[in-house]
Chains A and B, each alone.
Chain A
Amino acid sequence: DAKTTQPNSMESNEEEPVHLPCNHSTISGTDYIHWYRQLPSQGPEYVIHGLTSNVNNRMASLAIAEDRKSSTLILHRATLRDAAVYYCILSSSGGSNYKLTFGKGTLLTVNP
């Protein structure tokens, strides 16, 4: 499986935008980029996913580099409830695409 690299931790201030980076230099053409987050003592929660084009939903935006070797999850206005571990995951559109491999993610701290 293609691997992702994320910073161990990041800090942000409340109501400011947050850009969470993810490197995936070995991504293949059929790999989707998924983001999940996990709040303390909860199961992971889907945030967003994309293939090539940038994606927006009510939770966040996903900016994908033109060469797809990196992507950025954007939280437009961080709130205290956004403090969580954020996971960037690749899965292929075929084969074992059910088997999302979660790394250690980025621990986001939001300061009031």
Chain B
Amino acid sequence: GAGVSQSPSNKVTEKGKDVELRCDPISGHTALYWYRQSLGQGLEFLIYFQGNSAPDKSGLPSDRFSAERTGGSVSTLTIQRTQQEDSAVYLCASSVRRGTGELFFGEGSRLTVL
């Protein structure tokens, strides 16, 4: 489809393992965002990309979290040595450019750390 695509939709992992979450934004969208939503909570900003660079990583909760974007398109969020508190839905969004007023969100990747 033409929307933001995220994979996997569900991921169950054991504590201490690394996970990678993928986001495929809408074609032509230069801005990409990662958010996290824990159960019953609002969305927590993690990181923002403009093109391939990340001017704002301030929301990443620890150095176990990293993200990259290549070719101005696909982005990968990596969580190393997962902990149970990392369990959440990780949402990716894209927009035509920064500050256009409309973010398009994917359906999220639900991560469960046992």
Interface on A for B, CB 8 Å cutoff? 32, 34, 36, 41-46, 49, 87, 91, 93-94, 96-105
Contacts and interface: CB of A to CB of B under 8 A. Distances in A.
B101 interface: yes
Interface residues of B, number: 24
A98 B91 contact: no
A96 B55 CA distance: 10
Contact of B43 (A32, A44, A93, A94): A44
B42 A98 contact: no
Contacts of A42: 107-108
A44 B35 CA distance: 11
Contact of A97 (B59, B98, B102, B107): B98
A45 B98 contact: no
A42 B37 CA distance: 11
A101 B35 CA distance: 10
A97 B43 CA distance: 16
A104 B91 CA distance: 16
Nearest to B102: A46
Contacts of A104: 41-42
A32 B102 CA distance: 11
Nearest to B6: A43
Given A44-B91, A104-B42, A98 B102 contact: no
Between A41, A49, A96, the greatest number of chain B beta carbons within 10 A of the residue's beta carbon is seen for A96
13 contacts: A34-B101, A43-B91, A43-B105, A44-B91, A44-B105, A45-B105, A87-B42, A98-B33, A98-B99, A99-B48, A100-B103, A102-B42, A104-B42
